[in-house]
Structures are given as structure tokens and as C-alpha cells.
Amino acid sequence: MNRILDYSNLSEQIQNWITSYVNNNGIKCLVVGVSGGIDSAVVSTLCAETGIPTIVVGMPIHSSSKNTKLSEKHISQLCFDYPHNVAGLNVDLTSTFDKFKSTIDKIADSELAFANTKSRLRMITLYQIATSKGGIVVGTGNKVEDFGVGFYTKYGDGGVDISPIADLYKSEVRSLGKFLGVDEDIVNAEPTDGLWDDDRNDETQIGASYEEMEWVMEFGTKKQNFTEKEYKAIETYNKFHNKNKHKMVSIPIFDLKYHEII
């Protein structure tokens, strides 16, 4: 991306924004799900930096050992670096998911649906904790996911109260992570939603890199005479954006005033 950002100033601005929201709404704590990826690592670190009580939660569900280790490593580091306001939790949801799957498998057997269920179980867990502590769930989606290709689960990781990095591209989140001192293994890790039983990552599922999707969002409608690679990236972006647009707009509502019976 060509946007030039002062990451010191950006970090401070986001922290001030979070703090202002908390103060204006009587919030007691922040709750963040930590997956082992860069987005959740950056958001949880920003929350910790505010000094506001922050609960960081790992929620493995048949998760890869690599993702679980990175999640646990980051949570441990945050608890060590911010002992006065950060608490870490590990809630293994594997047995919960397995019970649900065995109950409904015969009438609703869908690999995609079960992948989304994992995300929704995590959302339920975060809200259970947040509600019991008088807190809010802090989202970890970036700009490409939240407003570009809609690469998230509706009412899963898309179910949050505030979203601090939703206007930052993935590359910018990585740069902010480096500035914040996030572990290099997390900064350099392949982006993955961790919802599948194989090793597929985000870019494999999308069919394009985050860098290509960022380019489309910034420049895809501002130039002509595209190269074949650029045209393919635009096609891929439009495919996902149109398919997932329902996640990024308000729920359709029947409006009585336009359908009154005369």
C-alpha cells in the first residue's frame, strides 16, 4: 500500500479512540479473542496499551498446533508485559463443537456451515465473558476483510462491539504490529481463519493475496489498461465483494410505509 502512516501516532490515536468509547459508555473491560494471527495480536496489544482492564482469550477448536502455540505465546507475553490490566484465558471449545456436530450432523451436514459454527461458538464465548464482566467484545477484522471481500463469518468474528483496525489494510496491520513489538513469528505467519481441518490459508481460499486485494480497493477503479494480473485481481475482488455484500450492509427491513394497503 502507498498510504504513508506514522505508526506511533496511529497507535496513540487508536488507543485514545478505544479509551473514549469505554469512558463514554461506562465499559468496565475489553475482551479480545486471540487466534495467533497478526490482526488479533495487534488489537489485543492496543487494548493492553490503553491501561483498561483487558481479557485476552484463546479458543482452540481442533486448531492446528502452530496456531495454538502462537496464540498461547502472545497471551503469555501480554500478561507478562501488562500484569496490572491484562488477564489471559484459554477456553478449549473442541468438545463443545464436537457435541454440537454429532447432534446436528445427520440433518445439516455442511463443511462450510461447520467452519462457520466454530467462529460463532467463539463469538458466543467472548460475549459470555464480556457480559459477565461488564465489558465489550473488540473486533479484530481489517479493512480488506470488513469492507472489501467480506472474509469473515456473519455473527461469528463479525459479531463485535467496536472495530479498531477495520480501516487498516493487512499490510498496515503488519507494520503496526512490528511497531508495537508483536512477536516476529506472528507478524510473519500466513494469514488463516483456522476454521478448517486442513492447512488452507486465507489467500488460498480467496484466490488472491491480501496485497492484490489492497491494490484493487485503492486503485482498481482509478486506472485503465489493466494488466492481465490486475484484471484477474479485480475479478476476484468483485466476486467476493458481491457474494459477501450481505455481511457488510444493514439487515434488509420490510418498510411498512412503502407497502401500505390502500
Q: What was the pLDDT predicted at 257?
A: 80
**pLDDT tens digits, 10-40:** 999 999 999 999 999 999 999 999 999 999 9
**pLDDT tens digits, 83-111:** 999 999 999 999 999 999 999 988 888 88
Mean pLDDT within 229-242: 89
Q: What was the pLDDT predicted at 194?
A: 63
**pLDDT tens digits, 178-189:** 999 999 999 988
| Dist. CA 101–CA 216, nearest whole Å | 38
Q: What would be the CATH architecture of the domain defined by 7-198? A: 3-Layer(aba) Sandwich (3.40)
Q: What was the pLDDT predicted at 196?
A: 67
**Which cell goes with 1?**
500500500
**176 Cβ contact list (under 8 Å, min separation 6):** 5, 7, 10, 11, 42, 165, 168
Q: What was the pLDDT predicted at 198?
A: 64
Mean pLDDT of the chain: 91
Instruction: List, as own/partner pairs, every contact residues 209-212 make where C-beta atoms lie below 8 angstroms and the sequence separation is at least 24, other chains included.
Output: 210/144, 210/169, 210/170, 210/171, 211/170, 211/171, 212/236, 212/237
> Residue 68 — very low, low, confident or very high, per pLDDT cuts 50/70/90?
very high
| Dist. CA 203–CA 213, nearest whole Å | 10
**pLDDT tens digits, 149-188:** 888 899 999 999 999 999 999 999 999 999 999 999 999 8
Sheet arrangement for strand 135-137: 86-90, 54-58, 29-33, 135-137
Element (H, E) at 33: strand 29-33
pLDDT beyond 90 at 262: no
26 Cα distance to chain centroid: 24
Q: What was the pLDDT predicted at 7?
A: 95
Q: Which of 23-32, 40-49, 68-77, 245-254 has the lowest mean pLDDT?
A: 245-254
Percent of the chain with pLDDT over 70: 94
Residue ranges covered by each domain of the chain: 7-198
**Which cell goes with 197?**
481441518
